[in-house]
Structure 1
Amino acid sequence: MDSYDDRGVGSGSENGSVGPGPGQREDASSGADRVSGPGPRGGMAALSLPYQIVAAIALAAIGLVACAQLAMVFLHVAPSNTLTKQHGEAVDDWIYPEFEQNWKLFAPNPLQQNVAVHVRAEIVGADGRHTTPWMSLSGEDGKAIRGNLAPSHVHQNELRRAWDFYLSSHDNENRANGLRGELSERYIRRIAMLRLSEHDYGGTIERIQIRSEVRSIAAPGWSEEKISTRPSYRVLPWWTVTSADLPENTEGAGK
């Protein structure tokens, strides 16, 4: 039997539990079953309105730049058309020298030579003036690539593309054939000075000279073709180093 006290609350004689009294309704859902409110917001929605506006503007700007890059590269590699004829100079200013494209990988006659770029410098120090031996810039890039599972794009392509840029904008007498020629000279000088600044020559670099060494790739053993692998050189004139040729955050050239 269940008995009721004066408050109308029954006490179970069998299990000692307290149940609802007359006129009382048991809650149909426990705490675990109650519907919880909306959780915390994530992503941009968690930002305040000013930050949401800034983030939206930044994403829009990045998207516009990406679309412009794709359009410029497409116009650069596309056959001559009305747009490239009218705006070819603007396309070239955007593409060169960092984003230049070519199809040599798929050419019917791919490159069959090894090309190395060397540099030497004229140093003025406490012991007078002297000239350094030739240093292989391509060789140093090769050392950085060998054994590296994820080599730097700079070590793989920067120097090679800069040299190709120079050759395409100069004649055989090393005379620039326009504004691109002057740009290519400044570009390769800066690369050379950046690499030279990693070495201590005990003085200041006043002049630099660059040359290329070209060796034909030997024919395979099963071929009867005779190919000379003797190197040929193209030596550029001495260039006087200016402040524009120096890497950033340096006070002197190659000190």
Structure 2
Amino acid sequence: MVEQQPDHAPAVPHRSSLAALGVFGVVLLGAVGWHFTAMILATVPPNHVSHRYAPLVSSYVDPELDQNWKLFAPDPPQETIRVEARVRATGGKGSARTGRWLDLTAADLAAIRRRLPSHAYEDVLPMAWSFYQVWHTPRGKPLGSEGQLSTTHLKRAVLQRLTGRYKGEQITGLQVRCRTDQVPPPPWDRGSATARRPVYQVLPWWPVRDRDYERL
């Protein structure tokens, strides 16, 4: 008895499709490998490799993927920072006024207590301040190409929290400052130094324009 051959041969994947899948797999593995390499270089103790590729790693990690912890030597914070801001606003009759300082960090902490434990929104402000400090001198001079980006990022993070506070008034200027407090020692540690007074770092006034509110 003669075996009947099928009318159509089984479909064989086209070579171009296999090649495309292979290229996609290589690109995907490369992207994953670069991500993990960048995150490791951003968290390991300083070394020759991390110093050599610091600008490249910083451009990828900052500001969204910034790591605020030490991988091999956890270092609890010795200071707390509070970001504060005030504005210059113009009312409906054209009268200008300077508002009082607002503690934006306190508002974020209060929001954390009212919500589920997701701190993504509340973490934006301290990370923006840290990003700004890394790319500016103590006198506020920007360092490299990331200086302007860090200024814009901090400015927009603050404006995002001020939206709705000044109804009917146009914000024309913004000033940000950071209050640094030393974490007090525990009651049983009598040998620690007494807590010093808060230290303020005040930034210059920034103009506020309509484009600063885009996609906030």
TM-score range, shorter chain: 0.7 to 0.9
How many Å apart are 1:237 and its aligned residue? 0.3
How many Å apart are 1:208 and its aligned residue? 0.1
Q: Does 1:199 align with 2:181?
A: no
Aligned identity (percent) is 29
**Does the aligned pair in 2 maintain the 1:104–1:110 contact within 8 Å?**
no
Relative to structure 1, is the Cα distance of residues 88 and 170 closer, same or farther in structure 2, using a 3 angstrom cutoff? closer
Which residue is 1:80 aligned to? 48
Pairing 1:91-110 to 2, within 5 Å after superposition:
91-104=57-70, 107=73, 110=76
**Does the aligned pair in 2 maintain the 1:125–1:202 contact within 8 Å?**
yes
Relative to structure 1, is the Cα distance of residues 221 and 105 closer, same or farther in structure 2, using a 3 angstrom cutoff? farther
Q: How big is each residue's C-alpha offset from its partner over 1:55-109, in whole Å with a ceiling of 9 and x where there is no partner?
A: x9xx96877654442233234335433x973x55433222111112243486475
Q: Which protein has greater RCO, CA pairs closer than 8 Å, 6+ apart? A: 2
Which residue is 1:233 aligned to? 200
Comparing 197-206 and 113-122, the one that deviates more? 197-206
Comparing 234-243 and 59-68, the one that deviates more? 59-68
* Cα distance in 1 between the residues matched to 2:29 and 2:179: 43
Look at both structures and tell me which one has the larger radius of gyration over its CA atoms. Answer: 1
- 1:144 is matched by which residue type in structure 2? A
**Does the aligned pair in 1 maintain the 2:175–2:204 contact within 8 Å?**
yes
- 2:118 is matched by which residue type in structure 1? P
* Cα distance in 2 between the residues matched to 1:106 and 1:75: 12
Paired residue for 1:185, among 144, 147, 151? 151
**Does the aligned pair in 2 maintain the 1:218–1:229 contact within 8 Å?**
no
* Cα distance in 2 between the residues matched to 1:109 and 1:72: 21
TM-score scaled by structure 1? Answer: 0.64
Aligned length: 191
Which residue is 1:144 aligned to? 111
* Cα distance in 2 between the residues matched to 1:198 and 1:147: 20
Which residue is 1:11 aligned to? none
* Cα distance in 2 between the residues matched to 1:185 and 1:209: 12
Relative to structure 1, is the Cα distance of residues 106 and 162 closer, same or farther in structure 2, using a 3 angstrom cutoff? farther
Q: Does 1:163 align with 2:139?
A: no
Comparing 70-79 and 201-210, the one that deviates more? 70-79
Relative to structure 1, is the Cα distance of residues 200 and 211 closer, same or farther in structure 2, using a 3 angstrom cutoff? same
How many Å apart are 1:187 and its aligned residue? 0.6
* Cα distance in 1 between the residues matched to 2:106 and 2:115: 15
Relative to structure 1, is the Cα distance of residues 113 and 171 closer, same or farther in structure 2, using a 3 angstrom cutoff? same
* Cα distance in 1 between the residues matched to 2:138 and 2:51: 28
Relative to structure 1, is the Cα distance of residues 166 and 178 closer, same or farther in structure 2, using a 3 angstrom cutoff? same
In structure 1, list runs of 5 or more residues that go unmatched.
Answer: 1-55, 250-255
Q: Does 1:242 align with 2:183?
A: no
In structure 2, list runs of 5 or more residues that go unmatched.
Answer: 1-20
Q: How big is each residue's C-alpha offset from its partner over 1:174-217, in whole Å with a ceiling of 9 and x where there is no partner?
A: 11122222211111001011111132342111100000111112
Aligned-residue CA RMSD (Å): 3.0
* Cα distance in 2 between the residues matched to 1:198 and 1:124: 15
Which residue is 2:7 aligned to? none
* Cα distance in 2 between the residues matched to 1:236 and 1:177: 16
- 1:219 is matched by which residue type in structure 2? P
